[in-house]
């Protein structure tokens, strides 16, 4: 790993929450489930700026299948 691979700017949990417009608890949840990359410095977490950008890109990608989680319904016609 070279110095070029090290992120140049880290954000606090509060800053990430403001960017994503979610609560700090949601950001902690994303960090804990590894949905958002982070590094721990002492007692606090820092999130690389590029990890936030990548998360936003992934979140904006539509998922296949129905959005409400239910199976598609098929209408049948009586003969």
Q: What is the pLDDT of residue 6?
A: 58
Q: Give yes or no for residue 78 having a pLDDT over 80.
A: no
In the chain, where the domains are located: 3-59
pLDDT, residue 62, reads: 72
- Predicted pLDDT of residue 65: 64
**2-7-44 Cα angle (round to 5):** 120
- Whether the pLDDT of residue 68 is over 80: the answer is no
CATH of region 3-59 = 1.10.1660
User: Is-contact 49 38, C-beta < 8 A?
Assistant: no
pLDDT tens digits, one per residue of 3-62: 566 557 999 999 999 999 999 999 999 999 999 999 999 999 999 999 999 999 998 877
pTM (predicted TM-score): 0.68
């Amino acid at each position: 790993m070279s110095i070029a691979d090290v992120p140049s700017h880290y954000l606090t949990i509060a800053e990430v929450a403001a960017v994503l417009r979610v609560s700090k608890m949601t950001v902690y949840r994303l960090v804990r489930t590894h949905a958002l990359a982070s590094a721990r410095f002492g007692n606090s977490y820092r999130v690389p700026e590029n990890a936030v950008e990548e998360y936003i890109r992934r979140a904006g990608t539509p998922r296949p299948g129905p959005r409400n989680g239910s199976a598609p319904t098929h209408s049948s016609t009586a003969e």
